[in-house]
Amino acid sequence: MRAASHALRPAGKRLGLVPTMGALHEGHLSLVRAARAQCDAVAVSIFVNPTQFGPNEDLARYPRPFERDREMLEQEGVDLVFAPTVEEVYGTVADKSVRATPATWVTVEDLSGKLDGRSRPGHFRGVTTVVSKLFHIVEPDVAFFGQKDAAQLAVIRRMVCDLNFPVEIVACPIVREADGLAMSSRNAYLDATQRKEALVLHRSLMRVEELARAGERDATKLAAAGRAEFVKEKSVRLDYFEIVDAETLDPVADVSAGALVAVAAYVGTTRLIDNVLLAAT
Ligand code: AMP
């Protein structure tokens, strides 16, 4: 992989990497298109990373439509698809359920315990470990991540800064379905009823955005208004609804300096996340 990546970027050429877990949709493709626009060559990785899944999460049933993904990427004119096995990424795995346990982890302390990191212990440690490995294997000049996973973006930016990775991080906006639902590979788990119920995530964020636009600055009041939308949607279980600083992920009291409004909720057994950035006023 490293030899192929080197061949793609002779001196002065920029290689972009789009890390994914596959089951590609328009959200992923928007990252690929941004990479194509900003780089000379584009590599996409497809790897369902076991170390970022908790023991009771959806690792086994996570969709893996590899042929379809590969065709989509070919259509987008991607230069390189890197789809390693768990063994290739982590060496020998402890057991056949492919629960890899590397001896060396990359952990962004503090940030990794916030938002999704609080609900999913060990999740961000798995993400930063695999992204470090991908950066070392592919050696991209630029890597593209979706704003959809806002906490992940903050954690990766911090890792790149703290460990001096020579990789520029580019964030791309959230791509949504026509009715507002943020695109996600996990939306495939939803049945028709749940698909409608899932709209409460976007609705709650729109409510907060609307109140902020009308002049409300108090984060406690804004968050309460967002959470209230979930009271009306009994079948959806709220995990968190928080208004935080987009870089530190710490709660803010006032949104005048800009803020990240982030939500996670379970629709049935499917955990969905979404967020919106409030601009500074
Ligand atoms: P995943 O395959 O879920 O790990 O996602 C791979 C990358 O695609 C991550 O950087 C995500 O943030 C990004 N991504 C996923 N869904 C969307 C979306 N709806 N809009 C923009 N980026 C997305």
Kindly report, residue by residue over 115-167, the tens digit of the pLDDT.
999 999 999 999 999 999 999 999 999 999 999 999 999 999 999 999 999 99
129 touches ligand 1 (CB under 6 Å): no
pLDDT tens by residue, 40-75: 999 999 999 999 999 999 999 999 999 999 999 999
pLDDT at residue number 221 = 98
**Weakest mean pLDDT among 3-12, 114-123, 172-181:** 3-12
Residue 12 sits in the same domain as residue 109: yes
Atom of ligand 1 nearest to the CA of 147: 12
Residue 98 sits in the same domain as residue 219: no
- Whether 136 is a known active-site residue: answer no
CATH at 192: 3.30.1300.10
Residue 94 sits in the same domain as residue 216: no
Give the range of the structural domain holding residue 131, as residue numbers without chain letter.
2-172
184 touches ligand 1 (CB under 6 Å): yes
148 touches ligand 1 (CB under 6 Å): yes
Domain C-terminal end among 172, 200, 230: 172
Residue 237 sits in the same domain as residue 124: no
- Number of domains present in the structure of the chain: 2
Alpha carbon distances (Å) from 274 to 30, 121, 170, 228, 237: 17, 19, 19, 16, 14
User: Looking at ligand 1, which residue's alpha carbon is closest to its atom 11?
Assistant: 146
Residue 136 sits in the same domain as residue 266: no
Instruction: Report the percent of the chain where pLDDT is more than 70.
Output: 97
pLDDT at residue number 103 = 86
CATH at 152: 3.40.50.620
The DSSP code for 50 is G
Whether 28 is covered by a domain: the verdict is yes
Residue 20 sits in the same domain as residue 143: yes
Residue 198 sits in the same domain as residue 155: no
Residues in the chain: 281
**pTM score, two decimals?**
0.97
Cα(30)–Cα(175) distance, integer angstroms? 8
Which of these is catalytic: 6, 25, 28, 123? 28
pLDDT at residue number 20 = 98
> pLDDT-based confidence at 98, cuts 50/70/90?
low
Cα(32)–Cα(269) distance, integer angstroms? 30
Domain C-terminal end among 148, 172, 196: 172
155 touches ligand 1 (CB under 6 Å): no
List of residues 6+ apart from 67 with CB closer than 8 A? none
pLDDT at residue number 11 = 84
